[in-house]
Each structure stands twice: as C-alpha cells, then as structure tokens.
Structure 1
C-alpha cells in the first residue's frame, strides 16, 4: 500500500496507526535521509546541478540547502527528481523484498507518484489536511520559517492531484480516528493484518 499526501498532512501519524494494526511500514523519508544513498555518482550529479554550496564541510549533502535551491523553481525540482528518484526506487525495491512474507507493507512516501513508486503498490492512500494546519505542523516539525515552509508546500501537488490518483483519501486536518482507519482498510480489501484470512 502506498501512503502519500502533502507535507504536513500527517502521513507519519497515519503510518503509526497502521503499524499498530500489524502492517509493516517502510518510511521513505528515513530511506531518503540515509546519507549513503547520495554518495558517489548521485552526490556528484547533485553538485553539478546545484553547485558546491550543497556540500557540507565534511563532504556530505546539505539537505536543507539543496531543498531550498531545488524547490525554488519547477526546473530545480525536476532536476532533483531526475537525479534522486531512480536511486530511491532501487533502494525501495530492496526494502520491499526484505519483507516478502508480510501481509501488508506500507510505503510511507511523500513523493510516491512523482518518484514512480506508486507502480510498486497495489493500493494507494493519500492523507490530506487544511493548508493552514499543514503550515503550522511543518514549521514546528522541521524548524523552518513560514516562508521556507510555504515554498515547500507550494512545490507540491494540489488536493485534486492526490484524490484523482488514490484508491482512498483520509482527511487529517483534525485527526484520523480508529473508525476511519478500520473503514479505510475494509474499503481497500485489506483484512486486519493480525487476523487470519
């Protein structure tokens, strides 16, 4: 199952609820934050595209600086995606293969569609929330200024983009209840992972 949605919508909160129900969660943010993913050729390509300023003194990627540069324009975002998405997809395939006996595997992936990772999923769920609520969450979570947060938010797709491409959408402006989760799993045909078929 692919789990996606806009930044600050609360995908990780929904993922925790799915994990409590016995689903295996692959946190794509954790995968993409692994410095080893951007070593070698990938790091060289990022530097060529965005400049030496994205490299920290210790030789590793300065993710915040890269994000500010990449998300400033459609061209920058497209460059970033072209360089990083193939590397990320290859890693995700390995992660999924490691859980081949799991009943439900959830890819918690902010850029599920953009990276083409939806092709790895049988079902896709998008988590949406009010823009003002999302802005507050992002600033608190990532320690960003309001302008930095808005830049990231506006670099993402609209609600309709997610709704049109998903098998199910959850509104997490306030919270997602246990009943909401049970209803979603039932609609998607996912038996409770702890139950027998």
Structure 2
C-alpha cells in the first residue's frame, strides 16, 4: 500500500486532482467529507461540539449549524483549537478505518486541505501538492466563487503559504493550465505513484 497525502491551497484545483486520481484507481479518503460525517446528527462528535459551544450551534432540526459555528470560531484561536481537538482525531480514526479496509496493493490518497497546517506531512509515504501562483488562486476565487479580492486574499492568507506547501512536497502538480494539461500531468504522476513499492518512505 502506498499512502499519499494530497493538499493544495484554496483555488488550486485539489478537488479536480483528487477526482482524477480516483478515476485512475486510487482509493481517495476526503477529510472534508469525513469532517462532516463525524459531526452529523446523532454522533458523539456533534454532542461534544454542542457541549463546547452551546445549543446555538444547532439548527431547528438538530443538525450542526455551520454558519453559526463559523461565526464563533472565526478569528478566535482558542475556539478554533477546541473545535479542531474534537473533529481532527475523529477524522483521522475514520480515515484509518477506511485505509485498513483497502486492498494491500492500493494507492490510498488522503485528501487533506490543511495537511501542512496540521503537521501531517510525515504521516505519508508521498506528499503530493497541487500548485498554482497566488495570483491565479485569487482570480479563480473571484471568478468562480464570487469572492472579492479582499476576501480571496484573506482566505489564502489564512492557510499555509505556497512556499510552506512546496517545502514538504515530494510531487508537485502544476494546475495553472487547462484540464487537459492536468490530465496529461496526472498520467505521469500516476505512473510515478504506481511504480513505488509498498515500502516507499519519504
């Protein structure tokens, strides 16, 4: 089994890379999806969030009110760390379960937006970073997600820097071109990943 950590800044196109790796045969474990699952209605994760932040973070239906929670933790380092201490261990445990159930010869891709920020690079055999210039990140966020330049730059600044991500990368995927360009690059990356033995270490 080859364990790959996939990351990239907001607007870099990490989701496009993740889906294309899945098409090529990778087992993709999406930490964003798991982060929603572990605080779904009825979970102990949601109960702990409510205990920490109060019933105001619930909708009338008993689901997590993400905008309400976001207002509490945005800009509050202590609150953010409290939330992460609830969610991150559960996400990692669930990811480990999925990985354990994968074939022994699988290429398992852990899609983790905050891989660098949470210090997880050393957990993987290969770290794959999706990279674009900051100017292109801003352009994509303003044109595709309706953000202002200020909002886009704030979101980018809240993440690890481009330099910090590249510093931990074993494989860098340049996604500044077209989707056809990306497919060609990923064909080569997939060959590279498939050529590694199960004992590959960073």
Give the TM-score of the pair, scaled to structure 2: 0.75
Alpha-carbon distance in structure 2 between the residues aligned to 1:125 and 1:150: 23
Going from structure 1 to structure 2, the CA distance change for 1:42 and 1:49 (only over 3 Å counts) comes to same
CA contact (8 A) 1:37 1:87 kept: no
CA contact (8 A) 1:71 1:152 kept: no
1:6: how far off?
1.4
Q: Which residue of 1 aligns with 2:194?
A: 190
Q: Which residue number in structure 1 is paired with residue 74 of structure 2?
A: 71
Of 83-92 and 13-22, the range deviating more from structure 2: 13-22
Aligned residue for 1:173? 176
- Mapped partners of 1:125, 1:12: distance in 2: 13
CA displacement, residues 14-63 of structure 1 (integer Å, 9 cap, x when unaligned): 11221222222222222222265575443243234444332211121122
Aligned to 1:26: 29
Work out the CA distance in 1 between the residues paired with 2:55 and 2:142: 27
Look up the match of 1:195: none
Matches within 5 A, 1:118-197: 118-135=121-138, 137-138=140-141, 150-175=153-178, 176-186=181-191, 188-191=192-195
Gaps of 5+ in 1: 193-197
Structural RMSD (CA): 3.1
Match of 2:98 in 1: 95
2:88 equivalent among 79, 85, 91 = 85
Structure 1 pair 150–39 and aligned structure 2 pair: CA distance change class (3 A): farther
Distance apart, 1:125 and its partner CA:
0.5
Q: 5+ unaligned residues in a row in structure 2: which ranges? A: 197-202
Q: Tell me the distance in 1 between the aligned counterparts of 2:147 and 2:126.
A: 32
Does the 8 Å CA contact 2:24/2:190 hold for their aligned counterparts? no
Distance change in 2, residues 1:42/1:99 (3 Å): same
- What's the offset of the Cα at 1:65? 3.1
- Number of residues paired by the alignment? 191
- Cα separation, 1, equivalents of 2:113 and 2:53: 22
- The 1:139–1:37 alpha-carbon spacing in structure 2 relative to 1, beyond 3 Å, is farther
**Structure-2 separation of matches of 1:179 and 1:171:** 11
CA distance in 2, matches of 1:134, 1:171: 12
Q: State the distance in 2 between where 1:68 and 1:123 align.
A: 35
